[in-house]
Amino acid sequence: MGDDDAQALVRRWWQEIWGDGNVDAVDELCTDPYLRHTSLGTERISRAEYKKRLTQTMHVLRGAETTIDDEVVVGDKVWTRATSRGVNLTTEDRQTLTWMVVHRIEEGRIAETWAATLPGVDWEA
């Protein structure tokens, strides 16, 4: 997969899942199982379990809009810094969430992700 294809795949992930809220896009975009590295640890999960987690996560921030601030493709990895802004459903306050995410591409799908989120950080301001 070339750099443009890898970048397009990851942009679809951001748009279809985080922009449109279409968790079913996971079936087309990600491998099964899918390997995730987050602050909660490393886990290999099925697409079905990942979709369930995404649905839960999306209920925390209402009306979120995500922008890709920086993106670099290196080999089989796409490195992205993104910012999400929306309303926190717990506090009803506007919230900003900055992402640092690395997606590893394997056979045309996202196979592995390293993700760090920074609540309240807005590097655009």
| Model confidence pLDDT, tens digit, residues 40-67 | 899 999 999 999 988 887 777 777 788 8
Average pLDDT over residues 80-100: 87
Q: How far is residue 89's CA from residue 106's CA, in Å, rounded to a whole number? A: 35
State in Å, rounded, how far the first CA of the chain is from the last one: 35
Two tokens, residue 58: 């999306």
The pLDDT-based confidence of 70 (bands split at 50, 70, 90) is very high
* 99 in Cβ contact with 123 (< 8 Å): no
Environment class of 55 (CB within 10 Å of its CB; exposed 0-12, middle 13-18, buried 19+): exposed
Q: Inform me whether the pLDDT recorded for 26 exceeds 80.
A: yes
Name the residue among 48, 54, 38 with its Cα closest to residue 113.
38
Percent of the chain with pLDDT over 90: 56
Range scoring the smallest mean pLDDT among 31-35, 82-86, 91-95? 91-95
Structural domains of the chain in order of their starting residue, each with its CATH number: 3-119 (3.10.450.50)
Residue of 8 and 93 predicted with greater confidence = 8
* 66 in Cβ contact with 14 (< 8 Å): yes
Q: Inform me whether the pLDDT recorded for 109 exceeds 80.
A: yes
Q: What is the DSSP letter of 22?
A: -
Two tokens, residue 29: 């975009």
